[in-house]
């Protein structure tokens, strides 16, 4: 059955959605989180931000993050498998299941240079029980700020026959080197937007969310997969020990570099917790915003709709 998210815009659904998904009055918890966020922001001077636990100038962060991913591009898949014991593949499979694309989907995958999400999108359409409709074209744009990551994705697509598979389901694929905060794309040009393990690396996540809202059509869906915060105290302590003691060492042994993976674990701790990020998504204009924790909150899937 076709997903209502990606079907044609329905005014009746739109009105009902506004009724049930409109902005709520600020709860005491929301006020406390806002105050805490403002306190955290005040730790930085004007024009400063964080790069892991390091204070840097805002204009420096993007180049530092760019260098991190340039350095790890060739070993990206190998390290993802090692760090997560292969579970990252399951997370991404669940992520695509939550999107549940139908024929006629135009997807923008941001920060997806290596193709993990886009390839799953094509595979999902391949496995769909609904026959390909020649009158409904599919499309995915794979966007990344780092050309090294895009080149890895292009090689993987060629090696795995992804482009041929995409053609069989009437899906076009293109690659775009672009900043998630300033997308060179028209308004309302996609009906699905995904971003996986990327937004925490951006200097201004709120600008990324605003751009996501801008490029989505009314009725379009925003879906984000990101490392998040483990809520159980004991599990969080164990996760912290693994993150800070083992992951950088693993990076040195497997990829010959520990610093990018030290940044990785620090950047996760700097990223907003689930409820706070949910409020940021709502502030960008999205409605019916929700999140789903995976593995006790090690990662979370955040969802919202442009209504």
Give pLDDT, residue 3: 41
Give pLDDT, residue 182: 97
Which residue, chain included where needed, has tokens 């329905």?
10
Q: Would you tell me the crossing angle of helices 274-283 and 28-41 to the nearest 10 degrees? A: 90
pLDDT averaged over every residue in the chain: 85
pLDDT tens across the length of the chain (307 residues): 444 334 443 434 443 444 445 444 444 444 444 454 545 544 656 677 766 677 767 767 777 776 766 776 777 778 888 999 999 999 999 999 999 999 999 999 999 999 999 999 999 999 998 889 889 999 999 999 999 999 999 999 999 999 999 999 999 999 999 999 999 999 999 999 999 999 999 999 999 999 999 999 999 999 999 999 999 999 999 999 999 999 999 989 988 888 888 988 999 999 999 999 999 999 999 999 999 999 999 999 999 999 9
- State the number of CA atoms in the 13 A half-sphere of 235 facing the CB: 8
Calpha distance 93→101 (Å, rounded): 13
Spacing of C-alpha 306 from chain mean position: 17
Cβ neighbourhood burial of 195 (10 Å; 0-12, 13-18, 19+): buried
And the tokens for 231? 């809520």
Give pLDDT, residue 51: 60
Residues in the annotated binding site for S-adenosyl-L-methionine? 114, 144, 179-180
Residues in the annotated binding site? 114, 144, 179-180
Calpha distance 107→129 (Å, rounded): 20
Q: Which 3-state string (H, E, C) describes the chain? A: CCCCCCCCCCHHHHHHHHHHHCCCCCCHHHHHHHHHHHHHHCCCCCCEEEECCEEEEHHHHHHHHHHHHHHHHHHHHHHHHHHHCCHHHHHHHHHHHHHCCCCCCEEEEECCCCCHHHHHHHHHHHCCCCCCCCCCCEEEEEEECCHHHHHHHHHHHHHHCHHHHHHHCCEEEEEEECECCECCCCCCCEEEEEEECCHHHCCCHHHHHHHHHHHEEEEEEEEEEEECCCCCHHHHHHHHHHHHHHHHHHHHHHHCCCHHHHHHHHHHHHCCCHHHHHHHHHHCCCEEEEEEEEHHHCEEEEEEECC
Calpha distance 233→252 (Å, rounded): 29
Give pLDDT, residue 25: 40
Q: Which residues, in sequence order, are bridge partners of residue 150?
A: none
Sign of CA dihedral 220, 303, 48, 40: positive
Which residue, chain included where needed, has tokens 């403002």?
38
Give pLDDT, residue 45: 61
And the tokens for 288? 């019916």
Give pLDDT, residue 43: 60
């Amino acid at each position: 059955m076709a997903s209502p998210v990606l079907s044609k815009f329905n005014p009746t659904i739109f009105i009902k959605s506004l009724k049930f998904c409109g902005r709520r009055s600020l709860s005491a918890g929301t006020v406390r989180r806002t105050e805490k966020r403002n306190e955290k922001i005040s730790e930085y001077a004007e024009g400063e931000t964080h790069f892991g636990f390091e204070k840097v100038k805002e204009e420096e962060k993007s180049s530092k993050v760019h260098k991190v991913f340039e350095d790890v591009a060739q070993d990206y898949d190998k390290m993802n498998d090692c760090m997560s014991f292969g579970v990252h593949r399951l997370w991404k499979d669940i992520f695509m299941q939550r999107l549940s694309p139908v024929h006629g989907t135009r997807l923008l995958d941001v920060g997806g240079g290596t193709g993990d999400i886009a390839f799953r999108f094509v595979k999902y359409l391949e496995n769909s029980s609904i026959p390909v409709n020649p009158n409904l074209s599919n499309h995915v744009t794979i966007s990344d700020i780092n050309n090294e990551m895009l080149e890895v994705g292009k090689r993987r697509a060629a090696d795995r026959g992804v482009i041929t598979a995409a053609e069989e389901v009437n899906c076009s694929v293109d690659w775009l080197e672009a900043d998630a905060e300033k997308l060179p794309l028209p308004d309302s040009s996609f009906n699905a937007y995904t971003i996986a393990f990327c937004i925490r690396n951006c200097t201004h996540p709120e600008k990324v969310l605003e751009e996501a809202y801008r490029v989505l059509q009314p009725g379009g869906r925003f879906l984000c997969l990101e490392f998040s915060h483990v809520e159980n105290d004991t599990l969080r302590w164990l996760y912290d020990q693994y993150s800070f003691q083992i992951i950088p060492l693993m990076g040195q042994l497997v990829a010959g570099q520990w610093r990018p993976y030290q940044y990785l674990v620090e950047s996760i701790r700097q990223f907003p917790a689930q409820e706070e990020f949910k409020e940021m998504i709502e502030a960008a204009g999205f409605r019916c915003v929700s999140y789903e924790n995976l593995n006790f909150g090690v990662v979370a899937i955040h969802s919202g709709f442009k209504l």
